[in-house]
Amino acid sequence: MKGDPNVLYLTILLCLVNLCFCERGIDSRIPEGFQKGTHTNNWAVLVDTSRFWFNYRHVANVLSIYRSVKRLGIPDSQIILMVADDMPCNLRNPRPATVFNNANEHINVYGDDVEVDYRGYEASTLLVTVENFLRLLIGRLPPGTPRSKQLLSDEGSNVLVYLTGHGGDGFLKFQDSEEISSQELADAVEQMWQKRRYNEMFFVIDTCQASSMYDKMYSPNVLAVASSLVGEDSLSHHVDPAIGVYIIDRYTYYALDFLERVEPDSRKTLGEFLKVCPKRLCISTVGVRRDLFRRNPDKVLITDFFGAVRPVEVVAGMDTNWPIKADGALQNSSMDTSRNFKKTAQTAVKYVYAPQFPSTL
């Protein structure tokens, strides 16, 4: 039996109307005066390159950023976390299985939901090494590497790369035994661009002489911020007397203080983030490389890199192929929407992340 052409016409018309409303809904979520991003997904690569107990703060740095991007919507499936040493299980740790980022010890940033992808420096095939980091970026990991340990980005991906550790003029140390040069990093980014592995990239580098790591970059759509200029040290923030070591770096501390005030629907911008640590706070001079980035950071939402929220509009509808009873009701009991919605409303519980910095130090 042929279908009624009027019904077909009406169906197409309704689809077009719904599509228009969805587009209007998306556009209305972009605040006036902001530049709309062209990305379709977000990834974060978070790397701590330092081993040894006295570098406890670098583990705290990377875990704190990890917690922030998760809170803002990037799922573990799109976060690659590299932690160079096992501080929670270090024999010197007076609080085993914990890592804290401030002396109040308000929250353990090494919580139950932390998924470390690359760990340590021995007895594992997924080590924190220069080779593995570069292979991760360019997508040339060994066969058999689990998908959860791969950077599966594409030409629609905004990629955040956070690096913390010990650096010098033109290099970043890994495991106190090898180095990645600024040229190697720049060439890896260029390979990513040629392979269409990113839409835009944002580097946050918290090391000594950090700005030297972005000096050689030449690929488009790359923005970078560094905690110190060439010739400057990047300093720690404070010691926890109970632990006995510095537990967070100055730049990351003030970056986190900013991120803690960001919500998924926030209107805070990348331009504001680039100014989170003036010299009176950082002591070192924060460097920024923006000439490769095509958008104005002051008009780019911070959540374009630190979040992964996509505005959508749910359109009510039903499958007309479902069987109908004589009284007009659906035969499938799971479609009893009034009962299901009522039950969901009664049992829904909203969970929130506890603040990382409950009081000023």
List, by residue number, the catalytic residues. Answer: 166, 208
Greatest Cα pair distance in the chain: 82
Ramachandran bin of 170, using left for φ above 0, alpha for ψ from -120 to 50, beta for the remaining angles:
left
Q: Which residues neighbour 343 within 8 Å (Cβ) at sequence distance 6 or greater?
A: none
Question: Strand, coil or helix: what is 158?
Answer: strand
The token duo for 234 is 């990047």
Output DSSP code: residue 230: T
Residue type, 36: K
Question: Strand, coil or helix: what is 69?
Answer: helix
Cα three-residue angle 99-304-357, rounded to 5 degrees: 30
Write the CA distances from 11 to 19, 22, 312, integer angstroms: 12, 17, 21
| 255, 272 contact by CB (below 8 A) | no
Question: Strand, coil or helix: what is 314?
Answer: coil
Q: Among 229, 128, 232, 116, which Cα is nearest to 178's?
A: 128
Q: Give the integer Cα–Cα distance in Å for 340 and 329.
A: 15
Burial class (CB in 10 A: 0-12, 13-18, 19+), 176: middle
| 267, 31 contact by CB (below 8 A) | yes
The token duo for 302 is 């911070």
Q: Give the integer Cα–Cα distance in Å for 168 and 154.
A: 31
| 175, 121 contact by CB (below 8 A) | yes
